[in-house]
Structure 1
Amino acid sequence: MAAKLKTLVVSAFKMHGLTLRSEACKYVVEVLGPVNEVEREDIIDKIIETIQKQPLKSSLIDRSVCETAVQECNTEHEDEGDSILYVIDAFSVPRFTYKSDRKKFIPNSTLGISKPSLHGTAEDKALLFRDRYTVLQQRTQRHDLFSPAAVGTDPNEHSKKFQLKPIEYLLGSTSKLGEIIVLGMLTQLKEGKWYLEDPTGAVPIDVSEANFHVGLFTENCFVLAEGWYEDGIFHVNAFGFPPPEPSNTTRSYFGNINMFGGPSSTSLKSSAKMKQQEEDNQDAMFVFMSDVWLDQVKVMDKLRVLFTGYSEFPPAMFVFCGNFMSTPKSNIRLVKEAFDNLAALICDFPQLVENSKFLFVPGPQDAGMGTILPRPPIPNSITEDLCRKIPNAVFATNPCRLQYCTQEIVIFREDIVTKMCRNCIKFPADGDVPKHFAKTLISQGHLCPLPLHVCPVYWAYDNSLRLYPLPDLVICADKYDPFHTTSVDCTIVNPGSFPRTDYSFKVYMPATRQIEDSKIGD
């Protein structure tokens, strides 16, 4: 039995590029001895995840490193208790880098990459685009259309395959090249002149005859461009996005590494216990609304109606997205008064105070630090009274993440739909903006595939906007009309502006994964 367990431990560590010394291996086997066989793999993954967070000098792991990791896991387990809902702020999302030679994601801490800083360096800006490209490239090359056909397969299968070419392949050619597919970033290196760029170079493109597939094609988004190359210009026949990849497929390649964040999302995602709790909580629900203007009497009246309706059956969480004032950059004293009034209103419903969580995600015009993403929570000086009266209130970053049982949810408050429509090269002919918007986010694997001058991002924290592996639910709170659409097992939802849509909002049922359109009528 011990030999079988030892083999399991050694192979698990090897899969992550780590080798255990004999004493370390013996210690881990002793720790896992009393553990139920069903839970062993989860615990091994957790220990490895904790070890990878340590500043390792070598891939050879000794006993002291394992002891520290086990101690941290025990402390973490005590802190977690039986909680099924975690809020993860954007600044604590794990940072990974894809290594093509090893074909795996490696934690930045083990690569010797320095901790991120708000005041990033030029290298951080370069890594921002390079990492986005690398993630999409490895995902595209694994897709059935681009992966090489197996030896001995039907010759017809070879004809159905495509091959990606780097831009240096074009630049190094002296003759005309026809029917080539290139993965690159759309950019304007010169005013009004479009280029396609990847880590190997940049080439001017002619888009006058290009057909655009589904999606909102903006500057700085990554595209698959099909066309022919002549006289130093790539003539594009068609633009498409890199093919998306379901979360289950991603995890089958990279295992249960914790790229989402949180105390133990690795084990929660595959936990049979959490899956059972998710199914048992049939009545659990999440209420999402945006532009909750606390300085408007009508909005406060509608919130009272909302709380009255839910007081008998409290939701798991109310998610309020900003802006929280109807006038931009309002006086801090007025903002504090508005939150104090909300606290007094919620306290009138003790059932909700006791059983529901209240999550507040700041909007672009709320009090605090600028409009650069990710955005810190609303300052404590404004929210401390509300937090004291309502212990279950959480003021989060924008964006933020939720881990509920086995489900991963991303919440983002930005007028991103509007900005993408305004900045796309060619507006979709059918005008079905929700379909094109959802396709863009899912294919790009990123919340904000826009130029940095349109939507600024802290360079070193761009990973917090990444959607890879794809989460189960993405809330993009925007002033655009409400919608929800599902693709590749990922649901994109816009609850719309609460006051501007006659007080409508969205309700999510995690047990059935259904979205309900709701409205507070007169």
Structure 2
Amino acid sequence: MTNPTSIQKILSRETPKNGEKSHFVIKTTQFRPIAFRVFTKKYNLNLNRKSLECLSTYVANRLGSTWKTNCESVLDEIARTWKRMHESTPIVSHELLVPILNSLTVPHEPQNVELARMPSIDPAAVLNRSRGSEIKVNVDVKSQFKVIDAFKMPYYEYQSSRRFFERSTKKLSLLPQAESFTNMYQRRLQVIQHRISQNDAFQSTSFHRTFSNGGQTSITPIRSLLGRAGSDFLLFGQLNLRPDGKPWLEDLDSQVELDVSQCAWGMGWFFPGCLVLVNGQFLENGKFLVFEVCHPPIEKRDATLRHQANLDTLGLNLDTNQLAYIRRAEREFQNAYFVICADLHLDDRQTFIALEKMLGMYENNIDELPVTFIFCGSFYSTAFHNTGTSLQYKEHFNEFATLLEKFPGICKDCQLVFIPGPNDPWTCNGISMLPQQPIPPYFVNRIRRVSKNAIFTSNPSRISFFSREIVIFRDNITGRFQRNSFHVEKPERPTTSDKREDASSLEVHQTQLKRKLVKTLLDQAHLSPFLHWKRPVLWDYDYALSLYPVPDCMAIVDTSIPAFNVHYAGCTSFNPGALIVGNYISWQEVRPLVKQVKCIKEHL
């Protein structure tokens, strides 16, 4: 262990030649509030007296008289480094702090080369840089593109006592213990509950406007309803159905039957398994008369990361300076784009004609190739079976490899990402458990030989591109929402037979449909917020379906509905639809750095 007295030696390395800052002293009473704001409020870390004095000495020698305006950036980097190295230790001890300060003082490269995508940056250089100066960056776009498999995402466990997400060392399993089943639903509820507790509007009187009758602004636990009949309450919990078909609401402690005969349903879908805010009155018969139901309020990505700064759901291990460097670098690549398409039925000859035409358009424009082609399944028109289908399935992928050989520019310079669909391997009668495993290597060996950039990943999967997080999820989820919804809206019939009004009515309906879809998923903070008997999920890996924090972009690949793109809560959500629709082929170009989506349609 490093000798505590060596801190003075460490700090002396940064003393300027003129010695101006070497004698600068920061009063502990001035330094403590800033350190508390960064370490305790932002990172949930506790400082003792010795570690606080150590930090103040370090900052004084490093920043001198400018410490008040610049020290938060330095403290933020120290706190992040502590969380990476001593995540399970919430108390910052002097003995363990000294080596960290030493490592930040001496220029170094990141220890984890695979995860850290950028070299470390001298914080002093960042702090001394004028705002108007132009920084030249030299970044390889390919180095900023990373696909994260759902089964390799780090698992964060919610600590209810500290209201904080902490990275867990729990060993995950495809066949876990029974307690994982209850933990799955508990984590879903805790994520939303935590999000509500951070919502400013919910804490203010303006939340009255959410409910037309001016309901309560504080959530009442269901167990507290007993003996309080005749009063109005605001509840939060999970909607469910009893065996007799009657709806009920449950939270972590109790449950209550709902009377929805007078209920006004908010925007979105409401179904067994969804988490909702319910406003109503508790009755003498033990039922809860519901006035209104709505989804919980959304929280934007920036707000989440401000109070959960340690939340690194992709496992990239980027510190503050690396992230700042990446954000500056991405300004030079605003036009970088992805191509995404879905339902590539390789047992249909029309699919190969469509793919050849689409790929040919980009091969002929070699100077402006996309960063990646994202091919979403299903890659077979019928559900995969182990007997009889395996050989045909492999042969069709071999044919796809033969087609790719015609486009050497794409195979060499573009990433080819393959995401399985409902009919691909690891399914049973077209129903797969989420997350879905990647397509097995046995079927795609030839594609890997044709293109070294081919990536076969899970469903769903995440893409990290510069500072952006993109979620790709292949599922015909709209129909499942419609089939299981408590409240089915009947479409209004046009008052006239005019065909133009019919077309306009259909367009309005489709617009509402896609907005409901996006709002429901993001408000629920989950890609599959159903009960297990409606949509099977691997219990230990349910966290990989979480949408907390809200991603920058989200591909909801649902080929049962037309293509769309919707902006909501800072997230750009899009759906490329099916590759072949009638006599047309369609796909989308996505520019994630500027959150723009372009739908392309060509004659087959």
Following the alignment from structure 2 to structure 1, what is the Cα–Cα distance between the partners of residues 115 and 573?
Answer: 34
SS in 2 for 1:520: strand
Distance in 1 (CA, whole Å) between partners of 2:347 and 2:94 is 57
C-alpha distance in structure 1 between counterparts of 2:433 and 2:71, whole Å:
47
Asked if 1:465 is matched to 2:545, the reply is: yes
* Aligned mates of 1:65, 1:394 — CA distance in 2: 42
Segment drifting more, 13-22 vs 511-520: 13-22
Query: What TM-score results when the alignment is normalised by the length of structure 2?
Result: 0.75
Q: Is the 8 A contact 1:149 1:161 kept in 2?
A: no
C-alpha separation in 2, matches of 1:276 and 1:343: 38
Q: Does 1:301 align with 2:379?
A: no
The question of 1:48 aligning with 2:103 is answered: no
The 2-side partners of 1:189 and 1:61 are apart by 56
2:566–2:574 Cα contact (<8 Å) kept? yes
Q: What CA distance in whole angstroms lies between the structure 2 residues aligned with 1:438 and 1:366?
A: 25
Aligned residue number for residue 16 of structure 1? 43
Q: What's 1:475 paired with?
A: 555
1:495 aligns with 2:576: yes
Q: 2 CA distance for matches of 1:404 and 1:324?
A: 26
2:336 is matched with: 284
In structure 1, the residue matched to 2:453 is 392
Q: What's 2:411 paired with?
A: 353
Q: In structure 2, the residue corresponding to 1:326 is in which secondary structure?
A: coil
Q: Is the 1:145–1:162 Cα contact (8 Å) retained in structure 2?
A: no
Structure 1 residue 99 corresponds to structure 2 residue 159: yes
Give the secondary-structure state (helix, strand or coil) at the position aligned to 1:377.
coil
**What does residue 162 of structure 1 align with?**
217
Partners of 2:553 and 2:592 within 8 A in 1? no
Question: Which of the numbers 417, 424, 442 marks the counterpart of 2:478?
Answer: 417
Task: Tell me, yes or no, if the aligned pair for 2:236 and 2:275 is still in contact at 8 Å.
Answer: yes
Identify the residue that residue 232 of structure 1 maps to in structure 2. Answer: 286
Could you tell me how far apart the structure 2 residues matched to 1:416 and 1:86 are? Answer: 26
Which stretch of structure 1 is more off in the superposition, 422-431 or 478-487? 422-431
| Letter aligned with residue 487 of structure 1 | Y
Supply the distance in 2 between the matched residues of 1:88 and 1:322 (Cα, whole angstroms).
18
Counterparts of 1:515 and 1:167, CA distance in 2? 44
Aligned to 1:84: 144
Alpha-carbon displacement from aligned partner over 1:363-413 (angstroms, at most 9, x marks no partner): 121023651111111111112221122111100011110011111100011
1:85 counterpart letter in structure 2: F
8 Å CA contact retained: 2:340, 2:375? yes
> In structure 1, what is the Cα distance between the partners aligned to 2:263 and 2:216?
22
**1:506 partner amino acid:** Q
In the other structure, the counterpart of 2:211 is none
Q: Distance in 1 between matches of 2:150 and 2:98?
A: 28
Query: Could you tell me how far 1:97 is from its partner in structure 2?
Result: 2.6
**Which secondary structure does the structure 2 equivalent of 1:74 belong to?**
coil
Q: Tell me, yes or no, if structure 1 residue 323 matches structure 2 residue 378.
A: yes
Distance in 2 between residues matched to 1:47 and 1:163, nearest whole Å? 37
Distance 1:249 1:323, change over 3 A: same
Is residue 195–residue 203 contact of structure 1 (8 Å, CA) maintained in 2?
Answer: yes
Query: C-alpha distance in 2, partners of 1:232/1:166?
Result: 15
> Which residue of structure 1 aligns with residue 589 of structure 2?
507
Shift in alpha-carbon separation, 1:10–1:242, aligned structure 2, 3 A: closer
Give the counterpart of 2:188 among 112, 121, 132.
132
The answer to whether the 8 A contact 2:381-2:423 is kept is: no
**Structure 1 residues 105-164: Cα deviation after superposition (integer angstroms, max 9, x where no partner):** 22223xxxx3221112222111111111111112123323421579xxxxxxxx897111
Structure having the higher Rg: 2
Find the aligned partners of 2:382 and 2:253 in 1 and give their Cα distance.
47
Equivalent position to 1:366, from 424, 430, 433: 424
SS at match of 2:113: helix
Q: Distance in 1 between matches of 2:182 and 2:109?
A: 34
Equivalent position of 1:242 in the other structure: 296
Written as runs of structure 1 = structure 2, the 5 A alignment for 1:446-457 is 446-457=526-537
The equivalent residue for 1:154 is: none
Paired residues in the alignment total 501
Contact 2:215 2:234 in 1 (8 A): no
In 2, Cα distance between equivalents of 1:363 and 1:222: 27
Distance 1:41 1:493, change over 3 A: farther
- Given residue 112 of structure 2, which amino acid in structure 1 is its aligned partner? T
Q: Residue type of the partner of 1:453? A: W
Partners of 1:145 and 1:78 in 2: how far apart?
38
Q: Which has the higher contact order (CA 8 A, sep 6+)?
A: 1
Q: Secondary structure of 1:310's partner?
A: helix
